[in-house]
Amino acid sequence: MDRPVGEKSSGAPTIVEVDLGNRSYPTDIGSGLLDQPELLQKHVHGKKVIVVTNTTIAPLYLDKVVEALTKGNPAVSVEYVILPDGEKFKDMDTLMKVFDKAIESRLDRRFTFVALGGGVIGDMCGFAAASFLHGVNFIQIPTTVMAQVDSSVGGKTGINHPLGKNLIGAFYQPQCVLIDTDTLDTLPDRELASGLAEVIKYGLIRDAEFFEWQEKNMEKLIARNPNALAYAIKRSCENKAEVVSLDEKESGLRATLNLGHTFGHAIETGFGYGQCLHGEAVAAGTVMAVDMSYRLGWIDSSIVKRVDDILPRAKLPTASPETMTVEMFKSVMALDKKVADGLLRLILLKGPLGNCVFTGQEDYNRLRPLSYCGADVFILAFSLISKASYENVSKKWIPELKHYAPGVPIILVGTKHDLREDKQFFIDHPGAVPISTAQGEELQKLIGSPAYIECSAKTQENVKAVFDAAIKVVLQPPKQKKKKSKAQNACTIL
């Protein structure tokens, strides 16, 4: 720790500069900064300010901010808009309230928006500033750990769409970020922990030394030790500022800040905004990304263990909520904004602690088999009418499943129509059970493990027999089979 930035005082702030040429700006960090009016006032443009905040933060800090803006500065008039509190209000309707206020106040471009609150307020107010009259001045006063270590720095602004998080937005930099660490005194414990997910992220993706520091100091962070918190905020802002300076518009490097976020966004969206805190979703998503990195052979197990150890110490989850299904992940992730040309790109760890990569096409091919892990049984369904489907099953899927999940039983599912024509296939693959697509889907639901179903016919026969077969396979894998007649072979797996 190089400097006690967190000690309660009204001393000079620690400044982390976001270096963006003529759009560079300072991030002032310290205790009692809202008691130093000049820090805010020097960044105000024009004579009018609109503070954007919410119903929770307004009673706590609005007066203080208004005072900081106006003390010794009577020429400035301050208005405010108080939005409902919560991620579920990070939407177009709520954003309109900010525009309504600005338009009612008859503002020209020379005024300043001030975002007073957590990441939701910061993102929304920033987007209002980016789009109102094609861009006006704005200042960030973040009041959560999440906002102080991440969202207020770097100029990513926006709102959610019902189909996906943060899908509408703009890159738009503030005039300054003022982090008064005293505001964290009123932050609920769960919100504090949520912000720590992003602190941990910096350590994992680019700052191993910081991660080691966190391993030594996590209990201090959770206990709100001011020095520890201030150091974590400063170091996080330094990391974020460096990344943003190198890649402001996320053409590459900046995307690495999204470790765990692709899964996390799916959890947040799948769950309904506001049910699972952003940092909690990111923490669960980080575990998934780290797990994938390990299974790909990119990191060693000690990193997995360190992540599994530190997250609970930070009071963060290590698994996604049980009600999240694979289908929920898939449908939401498909919409994730990092889907480019139909390819879902993920940030994964690779190499020693503190290194990560952005996955590409080759990695994607290697990632697919990861979904096989943990399956009790595979159900391969195919159309017996289509030779291509037959080829696909026999030449691609069976070898792949056997390679990546040796020993896991496979049930082949086909339609009856061409049994005569394809009987050789069933002789080659004892255990094949003819059923329909609908039946296969029923099975998939029942077993809850990955099943790959491609079948053209829609008959409803044999459902019970196939259910029974699959359950038996799961509970009691078949022994080595004796030589049987062709007819019996079709049911060997039973």
Ligand X SMILES: NC(=O)c1ccc[n+]([C@@H]2O[C@H](COP(=O)([O-])OP(=O)(O)OC[C@H]3O[C@@H](n4cnc5c(N)ncnc54)[C@H](O)[C@@H]3O)[C@@H](O)[C@H]2O)c1
State the residues that interact with ligand X by CB under 6 A.
54, 56-57, 60, 85, 87, 90, 117-121, 123, 143-144, 146-147, 150-151, 154, 156, 166, 183, 186-187, 191, 194, 278
The strand ranges marked E within 210-364 are: 339-340, 343-344, 347-349, 356-358
To the nearest whole angstrom, how small is the minimum distance from the Cβ of residue 48 to ligand X? 25
Instruction: Look at the block and give the residue holding tokens 């491609």.
Output: 454
Closest to ligand X by CB, 56 or 359: 56
Closest to ligand X by CB, 191 or 336: 191
To the nearest whole angstrom, how small is the minimum distance from the Cβ of residue 322 to ligand X? 23
Closest to ligand X by CB, 121 or 324: 121
Backbone φ/ψ region at 141: left (φ over 0), alpha (ψ -120 to 50), beta: beta
Tell me if residue 82 falls in helix, strand or coil.
strand
To the nearest whole angstrom, how small is the minimum distance from the Cβ of residue 61 to ligand X? 7
Instruction: Report which DSSP code applies to 46.
Output: S
To the nearest whole angstrom, how small is the minimum distance from the Cβ of residue 18 to ligand X? 12
Say how far apart CA 42 and CA 461 lie, in whole Å.
77
Closest to ligand X by CB, 317 or 409: 317
Instruction: Look at the block and give the residue holding tokens 């007649």.
Output: 485
Query: Which residue, judged by CB position, is nearest to ligand X in the bound state?
Result: 119
Say how far apart CA 104 and CA 111 lie, in whole Å.
14
Closest to ligand X by CB, 31 or 151: 151
To the nearest whole angstrom, how small is the minimum distance from the Cβ of residue 46 to ligand X? 25
To the nearest whole angstrom, how small is the minimum distance from the Cβ of residue 304 to ligand X? 24
Tell me if residue 340 falls in helix, strand or coil.
strand
To the nearest whole angstrom, how small is the minimum distance from the Cβ of residue 112 to ligand X? 19
Closest C-alpha among 224, 199, 219, 226 to residue 312: 219
Angle between helix 92-104 and helix 119-131 axes, rounded to 10 deg: 60
- Residue 295 buriedness (CB in 10 A; 0-12 / 13-18 / 19+): middle
Distances (CA, A) of 419 to 327, 380, 382, 387, 410: 32, 16, 12, 12, 19
Closest to ligand X by CB, 143 or 449: 143
Closest to ligand X by CB, 126 or 414: 126
Contact 308, 175 (CB under 8 A): no
